[in-house]
Amino acid sequence: MSRKILLLPGDGIGPEIVAEAVKVIEALKTRHGLDVETEEAPIGGAGYDAAGHPLPEATLAKAREADAVLLGAVGGPQYDKLPRELRPERGLLGIRKSMGLFANLRPALLYPELAEASTLKREVVEGLDIMIVRELTGGIYFGEPRGIREREDGQREGFNTLVYSESEIERIARVAFDTAMKRGKRLCSVDKANVLEVSELWREVVERVGLDYPEVELSHMYVDNAAMQLVRAPKQFDVMVTTNMFGDILSDAASMLTGSIGMLPSASLNADGQGMYEPIHGSAPDIAGRGVANPLATILSVSMLLRHSLGEAALADRVDAAVGQVLKQGLRTADLAAAGAPAVSTREMGDAVVAAL
């Protein structure tokens, strides 16, 4: 029986970049024997427009049934005035939480051809290969209580709760150590243990899990220093593990080491091995509808989907190699092109990858 991929294009540039990823999937089907079926469903603003909710029930039901989910991006200024529970971002957070996708893998890998596209010096980024393991269903994003309330003095105050249980820390730490075992066997856990009790517990649990992985060299770093080290000397890192919000911020920063945020894919996995795949960037309202967005992060997310959810490592390698080849040919979307140099469109980039497959 052929396997099912659910496509969730979402908003802004989401549909444009997912369309290019679909071309890649179709080419793998017709030319390389990939046996999958795709179906599409609305999420985010598109979910709100179609069904009055950023995560329509039918969309979630299809996602649960699928072998893997490929998401574009959600959000846009036209939705920012909606009540918080109806905003596009809630759809994304909702599907992550409902499916238990607690482990978010965000690889920051520099394609050698893009060393000049990075805003950092070539020698700083050349050979870069970091894996950021971000906890995705806990922490301050989901902690209760949360809200905006009126105080006795008449002022309002906003509040959120940063909370992690031992079991939440332990399972993401295990994913990080397992990941490190398959790579360079170095793990850096990023926290704020000099200030936060949550981080104190985080560090303690990570240390404890580390006893099961004597071959992995474990270190700890405060998040402010980690942000600085990422731009000072990023190649010191192999695998990094951190909380939901720190991982969100550090992965955007790490993306620029690779040339553009348009290059970073991700995999979000649950305990049953189900996965959702998406670029780490957003819906880019500033460039949406112009056909200039970089589709490579989404195409590389297809590669992660093939590897982690479908067991198709050879096809994943093929996609990664095709991306390398188009970059070697000199093709650059606007985000990667040098100032004044010609750039290709979203569609031209997708077509070139398909041709190189």
8 Å CB contact between 47 and 289: no
According to CB under 6 A, which residues from 129 to 188 bind ligand NAD?
none
According to CB under 6 A, which residues from 203 to 262 bind ligand IPM?
248
19 annotated binding-site participant: no
Specify whether the backbone of 52 is left (phi greater than 0), alpha (psi in -120 to 50) or beta: left
- 89 is a contact residue toward ligand IPM (CB under 6 A): yes
According to CB under 6 A, which residues from 196 to 255 bind ligand NAD?
none
Instruction: Judge whether 272 counts as a catalytic residue.
Output: no
Catalytic residue among 192, 238, 320, 335, which? Answer: 192
CB of 325 to Mn ion, least distance (A): 29
- Give the single-character DSSP code of 6: E
Instruction: Judge whether 192 counts as a catalytic residue.
Output: yes
According to CB under 6 A, which residues from 56 to 115 bind ligand NAD?
73-76, 89, 92
Instruction: Judge whether 248 counts as a catalytic residue.
Output: yes
- 92 is a contact residue toward ligand IPM (CB under 6 A): yes
Helices then strands, counting H and E runs in the chain, come out as: 12, 12
CB of 83 to ligand NAD, least distance (A): 15
According to CB under 6 A, which residues from 123 to 152 bind ligand IPM?
none
295 annotated binding-site participant: no
| 196 class by beta-carbon count within 10 Å (0-12 exposed, 13-18 middle, 19+ buried) | middle
CB of 313 to Mn ion, least distance (A): 27
Instruction: Judge whether 11 counts as a catalytic residue.
Output: no
- List 294, 301, 303, 309, residue binding ligand NAD (CB under 6 A): 294
Instruction: Judge whether 185 counts as a catalytic residue.
Output: no
Residues 6 or more apart from 54 whose CB is under 8 A from it?
43, 44, 45, 47, 48, 74, 86, 87, 88, 89, 90, 91, 92, 94
Residues 6 or more apart from 191 whose CB is under 8 A from it?
199, 202, 203, 220, 221, 222, 223, 242, 243, 246
* CB of 189 or CB of 283, closer to ligand IPM: 283
Residues 6 or more apart from 229 whose CB is under 8 A from it?
221, 236, 237
Separation of alpha carbons 354 and 156, rounded Å:
54
CA distances from 352 to 31, 173, 277, 303, 328 (A): 15, 39, 22, 16, 11
Binding site for Mn ion (CB under 5 A): 248
Catalytic residue among 141, 164, 213, 277, which? Answer: 141
Task: Return the active site residues.
Answer: 141, 192, 224, 248, 252
User: Which residues of the shown chain bind ligand IPM in the complex (CB under 6 A)?
Assistant: 75, 89, 92-93, 248, 280, 282
- List binding-site positions: 76-89, 96, 106, 134, 224, 248, 252, 282-294
List of residues contacting ligand NAD (CB under 6 A): 13, 73-76, 89, 92, 261-262, 278, 281-287, 293-294, 297, 335
